[in-house]
């Protein structure tokens, strides 16, 4: 699908060379699409749009002025500055030309998927994100199960503002990234109607054994795992034999599901909490997908995946995100690695500071 847009790139048009324009998440999605890996269709609102928007509205000047004398150690000052910047962004409308392109691209995506008001995920994709020397992933916002022209534009605007959350500001201060040089793209992607979802590492994150794949899985959308709301099912697979070497069934008592205005958390029926949320064939197919992605990138990957309950197996298994595994980027895997052990030194510092301020 060739792009006729000024501020939009379809995933098919994205690869690692487009990272300055579309950020880490979107560049990786484009890489996977072009490698033949099953990815929900979508497009990126480029960082060019954000940069032009900020420049024309003189918002970069405000960012520099507000943060010029703020220290990462002064949480109250960071919070006040971040709130001021976010309010300034959200009170400054996106120019009509940009809104029209976002709406037109979303309409084309709806047509491609044969669905009016197609539900989409609207994901922030910072241009310094997912690089091996900068673990920026997760610093900005994601909005799930968004549909309709106005809501897609609104979610895009919110993603732009999320570049200046307190945590993101402090993180950039700590790792030495100038606040006015990290741009943001936004990915708008068909929502997978997830029956089950989770994360996968193409190595064992506890031992760094590259002959293993580790999969965490839970009911509904993957945010229940990413946000640490559940004890997920955990599977360890041998790459050579594609056999399951270990399976631990977690008590998956909550799940994220779609509602009329996004997602909500629901309780999982007791009988489903103690049974696997993916079967053996699905475990193996997810592992195969992980191996293909790892082969394409040439290094161990941290992958988010989902199983669409509306499609047949194996066409229902999608990768929604992939990034290189880094020491700072490893996630918590069930009870094997605690969240505190899993974090980088910078994450520890930021969390302690924010906790102190919230008391």
Q: CATH number of the domain at 107, please.
A: 3.30.1490.20
> Mean pLDDT for each consecutive 10-residue tract of the chain (359 residues)?
82 94 92 93 97 97 95 95 98 98 98 93 80 52 91 98 94 90 94 95 95 98 92 98 98 89 89 97 98 95 94 94 73 36 41 41
Q: Which of 190, 207, 239 is the last residue of a domain?
A: 190
Contacts of 114 (CB under 8 A, 6+ apart): none
pLDDT of residue 330: 54
Task: List the beta bridge partners of residue 45.
Answer: 8, 186
Q: Are 126 and 212 contained in the same domain? A: no
* In a domain? residue 2: no
pLDDT of residue 4: 78
CA dist 346 and 351 (Å) reads 9
* In a domain? residue 1: no
* In a domain? residue 303: yes
* In a domain? residue 142: yes
Look at phi and psi of residue 242 and say left if phi exceeds 0, alpha if psi is from -120 to 50, else beta.
Answer: left
Q: How many residues does the chain have?
A: 359
Instruction: Give the tens place of pLDDT for each residue, 220-242.
Output: 999 899 889 999 999 999 999 99
Q: Are 298 and 318 contained in the same domain? A: yes
Best CA proximity match to 256, nearest among 217, 213, 223, 304: 223
Q: Are 273 and 286 contained in the same domain? A: yes
Structural domain harbouring 219: 194-358
* In a domain? residue 96: yes
Q: Is 214 helix (H, G, I), strand (E, B) or coil?
A: strand
Structurally, the chain folds into a number of domains equal to 2
* In a domain? residue 62: yes
The four Cα atoms 263, 267, 272, 276 give a dihedral, to 10 degrees, of: 50
Both tokens of residue 246?
């270990």
Contacts of 279 (CB under 8 A, 6+ apart): none
Assign 3-class secondary structure to 108-161: HHHHHCCCCCCCEEEEEEECCCCECCECCCCCCCEEEEECCHHHHHHHHHHHHH
Q: Are 82 and 128 contained in the same domain? A: yes
Q: Are 160 and 201 contained in the same domain? A: no
Q: Are 200 and 81 contained in the same domain? A: no
Q: Is 169 helix (H, G, I), strand (E, B) or coil?
A: helix
312 burial (CB, 10 Å; 0-12 / 13-18 / 19+) is exposed
Q: Are 349 and 270 contained in the same domain? A: yes
Half-sphere exposure for 28 (CA within 13 Å, toward CB)? 24
Q: Are 200 and 231 contained in the same domain? A: yes
pLDDT of residue 342: 40
Q: Are 304 and 323 contained in the same domain? A: yes
pLDDT of residue 3: 60
Q: Is 162 helix (H, G, I), strand (E, B) or coil?
A: helix
Q: Are 310 and 186 contained in the same domain? A: no
132 to 24, 158, 283, 337: CA distances (angstroms): 11, 26, 28, 21
Q: Which of 190, 219, 249 is the last residue of a domain?
A: 190
* In a domain? residue 159: yes
pLDDT of residue 349: 41
Q: Which of 127, 158, 190 is the last residue of a domain?
A: 190
Q: Are 20 and 60 contained in the same domain? A: yes
Q: Are 143 and 290 contained in the same domain? A: no
The enclosing domain of 213 has a CATH number of 3.30.470.20
Instruction: Give the tens place of pLDDT for each residue, 167-204.
Output: 999 999 998 889 988 899 999 999 999 999 999 999 99
* In a domain? residue 27: yes
pLDDT of residue 327: 62
Residue with tokens 């008592």: 253
**Could you write out the DSSP letters of every residue in 315-350?**
TTEEEEEEEE--TTTPPP-TTTS-HHHHS-HHHHHH
User: Residue 254 has what DSSP assignment?
Assistant: E
Task: List the beta bridge partners of residue 236.
Answer: 214, 246
pLDDT of residue 175: 87
């Amino acid at each position: 699908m060739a792009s006729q847009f000024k501020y939009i790139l379809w995933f098919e048009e994205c690869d690692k060379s487009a990272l300055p324009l579309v950020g880490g998440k979107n560049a990786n999605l484009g890489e996977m699409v072009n490698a033949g890996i099953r990815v929900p269709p979508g497009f990126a609102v480029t960082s060019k749009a954000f940069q032009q928007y900020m420049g024309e509205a003189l918002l970069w000047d405000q960012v520099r002025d507000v943060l010029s004398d703020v220290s990462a150690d002064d949480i109250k000052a960071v919070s006040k500055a971040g709130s001021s910047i976010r309010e300034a962004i959200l009170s400054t409308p996106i120019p009509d030309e940009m809104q029209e392109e976002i709406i037109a691209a979303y309409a084309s995506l709806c047509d491609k998927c044969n669905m009016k008001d197609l539900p989409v995920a609207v994901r922030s994709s910072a241009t310094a994100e997912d690089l091996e020397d900068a673990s920026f992933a997760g610093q900005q916002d994601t909005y799930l199960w968004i549909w309709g022209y106005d809501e897609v534009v609104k979610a895009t605007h919110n993603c732009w503002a999320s570049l200046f959350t307190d945590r993101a500001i402090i993180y950039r201060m700590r790792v030495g990234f100038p606040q006015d040089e990290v741009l943001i793209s936004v990915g708008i992607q068909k929502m997978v109607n997830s029956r089950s979802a989770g994360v996968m590492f193409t190595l064992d994150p506890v031992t760094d054994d590259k002959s293993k794949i580790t999969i965490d899985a839970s009911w509904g959308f993957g945010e229940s795992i990413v946000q640490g709301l559940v004890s997920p099912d955990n599977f360890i697979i041998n790459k050579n034999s594609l056999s399951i070497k270990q399976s631990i069934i977690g008590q998956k008592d909550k799940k994220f599901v779609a509602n009329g205005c996004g997602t909500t958390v629901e309780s999982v029926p007791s009988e489903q909490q103690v049974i696997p949320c993916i079967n053996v064939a699905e475990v193996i197919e997810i592992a195969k997908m992980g191996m293909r992605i790892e082969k394409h990138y040439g290094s161990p990957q941290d992958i988010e995946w989902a199983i669409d309950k509306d499609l047949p197996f194996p066409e229902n298994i999608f990768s929604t995100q992939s990034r290189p595994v880094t020491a700072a980027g490893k996630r918590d895997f069930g009870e094997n690695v605690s969240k505190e052990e899993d974090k980088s030194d910078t994450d520890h510092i930021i969390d302690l500071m924010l906790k102190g301020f919230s008391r």
